[in-house]
Amino acid sequence: MAEIQDTQPPRVDISKSSSNVPADGYDKKCIFCRIVNNEMGTELLHCDEEISCFRDIKPGAPHHYLVVPTKHVGNCKSLTKEHVPLVKRMVDKGKEILEKNNITDLSDVRFGFHWPPFCSVTHLHLHVLAPASQMGFMSRLFYRLNSYWFITADQLIELLNSKGETN
């Protein structure tokens, strides 16, 4: 198996992240693959070859966006240390979308992922919620910090960075 050299850019080939996904990174059974492929009529707030963003169909806050890899990537539990740059770019895109929607107070924002088996779609997706202080009771439960079912983007990055260090 080839090793990744330090001279390579910190990008991960997201088309190879899940063994059940065709080489083109599209899973016809995945609702998020279909959304980013413009098959569902969902408005895409951002779409490029790496990252796409759209509104959550069941918003948990006045601004609730989903930032996803454009090509299918499995849920956050399937990620490796190589995915850290992708997760960071997803967070950056979420911040950019918030700024475009006049949300500038990033201290009242929640960025995170549901931890399997508590995610309804297996395509990696970052929840971007703002203002977090305006989330309702159920949303505060679904997107609860320090819970078994929701992990912040920073916690995921820390977890991924620690993978392989204790071998």
Residue 125 annotated to the active site: yes
Distance CA 26, CA 9 (A): 24
Residue closest to 60 by CA, chosen among 12, 125, 2, 130: 130
Q: What is the pLDDT of residue 14?
A: 41
Asked, for residue 96, whether it belongs to a domain, the answer is yes
Nearest CA among 39, 161, 14 for reference residue 90: 14
Q: Does residue 83 surpass a pLDDT of 80?
A: yes
The pLDDT of residue 117: 87
Q: What is the pLDDT of residue 19?
A: 43
Per-residue burial over 52-88, b if 16 or more Cβ lie within 10 Å, else e, is bbbeeeeebbebbbbbbbbbbbbbbeebeebbbebbe
**Residue 14 is assigned to a structural domain of this protein:** no
Residue 76 sits in a domain whose CATH number is 3.30.428.10
Residue 92 in this model has a pLDDT that exceeds 60: yes
Mean pLDDT on 80-103: 97
Asked whether residue 118 is assigned to any structural domain, the reply reads yes
What pLDDT does residue 10 have? 41
Q: Is 80 inside any structural domain? A: yes
- Predicted confidence at residue 80, as pLDDT, reads 95
Instruction: Please check whether residue 116 lies inside any domain of the structure.
Output: yes
Catalytic pick among 64, 72, 125, 127: 125
Query: Residue 103 belongs to what domain range?
Result: 31-164
Structural domain count of the chain:
1
Domain-embedded: residue 20:
no
Q: Is the pLDDT of residue 99 over 80?
A: yes
Lowest mean pLDDT among 15-24, 52-61, 145-154: 15-24
pLDDT tens per residue across span 21-72: 455 788 889 999 999 999 999 999 999 999 999 999 999 999 999 999 999 9
pTM for this structure? 0.84
Q: What is the pLDDT of residues 117-137, one digit of tens each?
A: 888 899 999 999 999 999 999
Residue type at position 134 = Q
11: in domain: no
For residue 7, being part of any structural domain is answered with no
